[in-house]
Amino acid sequence: MKDMDKKIKIVVLFIAIVMIVGIIVVLTVGFNFDLRYQETKKIQLNLEKDFEIADIKQITNETLPNEKVVIQKVEVYEDTVSILAKEITEEQKTELIQKVNEKYGTELSADSTEIITVPHTRGRDIIKPYAMPFIIATAIIFVYMVIRYYKLGIVKTIARTALIAVLSQVILVSIMAITRIPIGRVTIPLVLTVYVLSLLGITTCLEKELSEKKKEEK
């Protein structure tokens, strides 16, 4: 029993440290957002012909060295390329367009190509589309918990479920902040996965307690 209590204390201490360090990191340096969600520079080049992403990537490697770049085909016929980077100077834009013209025989002009500033995407804007479905699903889950485990105490069941669900998310966010995992496309799936696992964990515990409760009643 003493060994078990010691292990529990170690786990609680570890979780507390992770949360505290995570909060400090968020307050001091913030989260690490994926390039698509940072304030970036973008240019779009209408080649009016088929092109390969790999070829454009090679050109950006030469003109934008040491820069993380996102390259996408856009427009209906996918004959326009969108190039997104943390920073694109006028000189880099001119050199990039010259190399694209040489590669594809196009006559793109640097003067008529604008460097567009893409504003930073706030975390709340990433979460917003998922907020209402998440709230509705959570409400349904809590109703189920109340009906299924009412013998264990309604308030106790809700409180424990909410605590585990919230705590698991806080730990996840803290780990993402500490390890600098980018906030991006995988964030929401990751949050939902941890949420489901936390619910499965608390449900397993409640099922065990309910089973013991029924045995005692018999």
Range of the domain at 126: 2-33+121-217
Separation of alpha carbons 99 and 60, rounded Å:
9
Contacts with 49 (C-beta within 8 Å, 6 or more apart), sequence order: 79, 104, 106
pLDDT at res. 2: 57
Give the closest residue to 51 by CA, choosing from 21, 78, 91, 22.
Answer: 78
177 lies in the same domain as 71:
no
CB 85 within 8 A of CB 68: yes
Query: Confidence band (pLDDT; 50, 70, 90) for 18?
Result: very high
Question: Does residue 3 surpass a pLDDT of 70?
Answer: no
Average pLDDT of the residues in 9-33: 90
This prediction's pTM: 0.78
Share above pLDDT 90 across residues of the chain, in percent, rounded to a whole number: 47
Separation of alpha carbons 23 and 175, rounded Å:
10
CATH number at residue 79: 3.30.70
Average pLDDT of the residues in 169-196: 91
Contacts with 127 (C-beta within 8 Å, 6 or more apart), sequence order: 188
Question: Does residue 6 surpass a pLDDT of 80?
Answer: no
Average pLDDT of the residues in 19-38: 90
Rg (CA), the chain: 26
Structural domain ending residue among the three candidates 118, 147, 166: 118
**Over the stretch 112-156, which tens digit does the pLDDT of each residue have?**
889 999 998 887 888 888 889 999 999 999 999 989 998 888 898
80 DSSP β-pair partners: 46, 74
Question: Does residue 218 surpass a pLDDT of 70?
Answer: no
pLDDT at res. 110: 87
89 lies in the same domain as 43:
yes
pLDDT at res. 203: 92
Structural domain ending residue among the three candidates 118, 148, 183: 118
pLDDT at res. 195: 94
* Domains held by the chain: number: 2
Question: Does residue 1 surpass a pLDDT of 80?
Answer: no
Average pLDDT of the residues in 8-35: 89
Mean pLDDT of the chain: 88
**Over the stretch 58-78, which tens digit does the pLDDT of each residue have?**
999 999 988 889 999 887 778
DSSP the chain: -HHHHHHHHHHHHHHHHHHHHHHHHHHHT---B-GGGS-EEEEEEE-SS---HHHHHHHHHHHSTT--EEEEEESTTS-EEEEEES---HHHHHHHHHHHHHHH-----STT---EEEPPPPHHHHHHHHHHHHHHHHHHHHHHHHHHTGGG-HHHHHHHHHHHHHHHHHHHHHHHHHHT--BSTTHHHHHHHHHHHHHHHHHHHHHHHHHHHHHHH-
114 lies in the same domain as 137:
no
125 lies in the same domain as 27:
yes
Separation of alpha carbons 87 and 65, rounded Å:
11
Find the range with the poorest average confidence among 91-95, 96-100, 120-124.
Answer: 120-124
Average pLDDT of the residues in 183-194: 90
Question: Does residue 24 surpass a pLDDT of 90?
Answer: yes
Find the range with the poorest average confidence among 17-26, 72-81, 173-182.
Answer: 72-81
pLDDT at res. 42: 94
Separation of alpha carbons 181 and 32, rounded Å:
6
